[in-house]
């Protein structure tokens, strides 16, 4: 029997950061002002799900700042759907987006040592 919690089995820690997220797919756009569980591999957004599982999409997460918002743009896929929203798996993360995600997670985690270890154990987003 596996006594690990689902958080212990995850490759990357999740942080509770509320970002504005815009998702584009199938000539439609979904805008959500509520994101949850941001990680290096995905994000959950509160919204009315409008696409089926597996839908390829473009994800834009906006970091608000003193100047114009920083757009963290990644390619993704609808990985799970609930009555409250969609979980998006990141399928392609460029270097700039990777750096912004890394910094966002490090600044918002309760356990920076664990997050740092997760990064050291992975090459990019794939296990060594």
- Residue 74 sits in which domain range? 13-127
**What tokens were used for 20?**
């504005």
Q: Write the CATH number for 70.
A: 2.40.10.220
pLDDT in tens, 2-11: 333 444 445 5
First CA to last CA across the chain, in angstroms?
26
Domain annotation covers residue 3: no
- Secondary structure in 3-state letters for 50-119: CCCCCCEEEEEEEECCCCCCEEEEEEEEEEEEECCEEEEEEEEECHHHHHHHHHHHHHHCCCHHHHHHHH
For residues 77 and 90, what is the distance between their CA atoms, to the nearest angstrom? 7
Lowest mean pLDDT among 26-30, 44-48, 101-105, 113-117: 113-117
Q: Has residue 15 got a pLDDT over 90?
A: no
Confidence (pTM): 0.79
For residue 94, give Cα distances in angstroms to 43, 50, 52: 16, 26, 25
Q: Has residue 25 got a pLDDT over 60?
A: yes
Mean pLDDT of 60-84: 90
Domain annotation covers residue 67: yes
For residues 54 and 104, what is the distance between their CA atoms, to the nearest angstrom? 26
Q: Has residue 90 got a pLDDT over 90?
A: yes
Mean pLDDT of 34-50: 88
Output the average pLDDT for the chain. Answer: 80
For residues 120 and 128, what is the distance between their CA atoms, to the nearest angstrom? 10
Domain annotation covers residue 1: no
- Looking up tokens 């409008």 gives 50
Q: How many domains does the chain have?
A: 1
**Confidence class for position 40, pLDDT limits 50, 70, 90:** confident
């Amino acid at each position: 029997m596996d006594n690990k919690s689902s958080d212990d089995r995850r490759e990357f820690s999740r942080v509770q950061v509320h970002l504005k997220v815009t998702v584009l797919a199938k000539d439609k756009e979904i805008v959500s002002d509520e994101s949850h569980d941001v990680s290096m591999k995905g994000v959950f957004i509160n919204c009315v799900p409008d696409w089926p599982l597996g839908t390829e999409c473009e994800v834009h997460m906006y970091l608000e700042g003193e100047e114009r918002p920083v757009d963290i743009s990644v390619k993704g896929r609808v990985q799970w759907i609930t009555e409250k929203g969609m979980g998006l798996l990141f399928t392609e993360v460029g270097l700039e987006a990777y750096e912004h995600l890394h910094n966002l997670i490090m600044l918002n985690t309760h356990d920076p040592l664990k997050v740092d270890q997760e990064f050291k154990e992975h090459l990019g987003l794939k296990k060594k």
